[in-house]
Structure 1
Amino acid sequence: MQKKALVLTMLLAALSFSPGCLGGDDASSTETVPEFTMIADDGLEYGDESLLGTNYILHFSASWCNQCRPTMHAVTNHLDGEMYIVVSTDANDGGETKLQEWHTQVNESKEDSTVSAPFTMNVGLAQDFEINNTPTLILVGKDGTVIDRHIGPMIDQEVIDEFWAQIQ
């Protein structure tokens, strides 16, 4: 009996150090954006297919997230003209009117600065990305590949530049 236990222990030890099905450097870690579509406060539909060919940032937030607002202003003003979509993780933010009200509140939260990004709500997409904190920004490349994820505020211009430069 002890002999069998010793053989099994040695076999398990040998398997844990061997490459192949158990992992290794050849495993692909490329994450692609899940399928999604959502209607924003601008009345337009945004989705994984319609955004193919465009680099973009998904900013996961909620109307109650006050620390998200400075990030929205900083990123949209610094990356003016780039695709940036605000996505609520809260089902209570749904509907065009509520999204427009939230967008107005964000714009009124800082003088001389407007957030021109579309505001949307997609709890399912937040769950697919396993979003647990707001703000969380997901950088997506033209081919739908997730390039990076940033958790927490992003207000420093150098940090914004470094984040966006990863797609170049």
Structure 2
Amino acid sequence: MNKKTQLIVLTLILIAVLGGAGILYSRLSAGAQTGQLSSTTASDSSTTAPDSAAPDSQSQASDSPAQESGTAPDAESSSPQEDDSADTQSDIPEAPDFTVVDADGNEVHLSDFRGTPVVLNFWASWCGPCKNEMPDFDDAAARLEGQVQFLLVNMTDGSRETLETAQAYLEETGISAPAYFDTSYSAAIAYGVTSLPTTYFIDAQGGAVARAMGAIDADTLQKGIDMILPPAE
């Protein structure tokens, strides 16, 4: 395969990835407001953050990578409620896979965690709102270890944010939640990330259930987590 053919193939792949990200972004952006959760299913209403947090979130959400901003029933007689649940699940868009690296340079993929609910947070050490919400994410990650997988994906562009600056921030603040580095823009492109922080809540089946743009507080974070945890038995 010559270089020209390789370039064409890579371009087509990039277009396909961006197209998928655009569809996901549109689904999650409908009715989205800063500092609030936006559900991907039409039957779910948006879950809002407490009023007291809204002003701060609205003033902070413009930070972006470019600028700081008895007998079981038969299958045939399944209840309407069960059918509605299946329909709702089918309405949830699939969360795109991506490749990032850990602190040792090992590749990590979102698909590695299929079967476990995931909280995916995009952040940078220069982003004030990101740092404001980070302690809540760290506390929740420790409290829910083994139940929910947290992926704190750093926007490591090699210029404004480097591995060194990101790791220095984590060490200085004592953040122990799992952090990864998007050195190849794989995650940023897959999710069309244009502002920081941005958080996705992904269920165990790999569905992107909800998204939050801008900094969120502990209560809103927990509401998002509750949306992806399996129902209590």
TM-score under structure 2 length normalisation: 0.51
**Deviation string for 1:52-78 (max 9, x for gaps)?**
111111111223212201212211212
CA distance in 2, matches of 1:153, 1:125: 19
After superposition, the Cα gap between the structure-2 partners of 1:93 and 1:117, relative to the gap in structure 1 and judged at 3 Å, is farther
Q: CA RMSD in A?
A: 2.8
CA distance in 2, matches of 1:65, 1:99: 15
Match of 1:116 in 2: 177
Q: Does 52-61 or 119-128 show the bigger shift?
A: 119-128
Report if aligned partners of 1:93, 1:99 keep a CA contact under 8 Å in 2: no
Does 2:225 match 1:164? Answer: yes
CA distance in 2, matches of 1:79, 1:147: 19
Give the alignment partner of residue 135 of structure 2, picking from 73, 86, 108: 73
CA distance in 2, matches of 1:33, 1:151: 16
Match of 1:105 in 2: 169
CA distance in 1, matches of 2:160, 2:186: 12
Residue 226 of structure 2 aligns with an amino acid whose one-letter code is: A
Q: Which runs of 5+ in 2 are unaligned?
A: 1-42, 44-86
Residue 135 of structure 2 aligns with an amino acid whose one-letter code is: H
SS at 1:104's partner residue? Answer: helix
- The offset of 1:47, in angstroms, is 0.8
Give the alignment partner of residue 95 of structure 2, picking from 29, 33, 36: 33
CA distance in 1, matches of 2:97, 2:175: 29
Matches within 5 A, 1:2-81: 29-80=91-142, 81=145
**Deviation string for 1:64-121 (max 9, x for gaps)?**
21220121221121231242112233422699xx43541331442x5xx533322311
Does 2:198 match 1:136? Answer: yes
After superposition, the Cα gap between the structure-2 partners of 1:107 and 1:70, relative to the gap in structure 1 and judged at 3 Å, is farther
Report if aligned partners of 1:38, 1:47 keep a CA contact under 8 Å in 2: yes
Moved over 6 A (4+): none
CA distance in 2, matches of 1:58, 1:45: 16
Residue 91 of structure 1 aligns with an amino acid whose one-letter code is: D
- The offset of 1:163, in angstroms, is 1.1
Number of positions where the alignment pairs a residue of Structure 1 with one of Structure 2: 138
Structure of larger gyration radius: 1
Residue 105 of structure 1 aligns with an amino acid whose one-letter code is: Y
Report if aligned partners of 1:134, 1:152 keep a CA contact under 8 Å in 2: yes
SS at 1:54's partner residue? Answer: coil
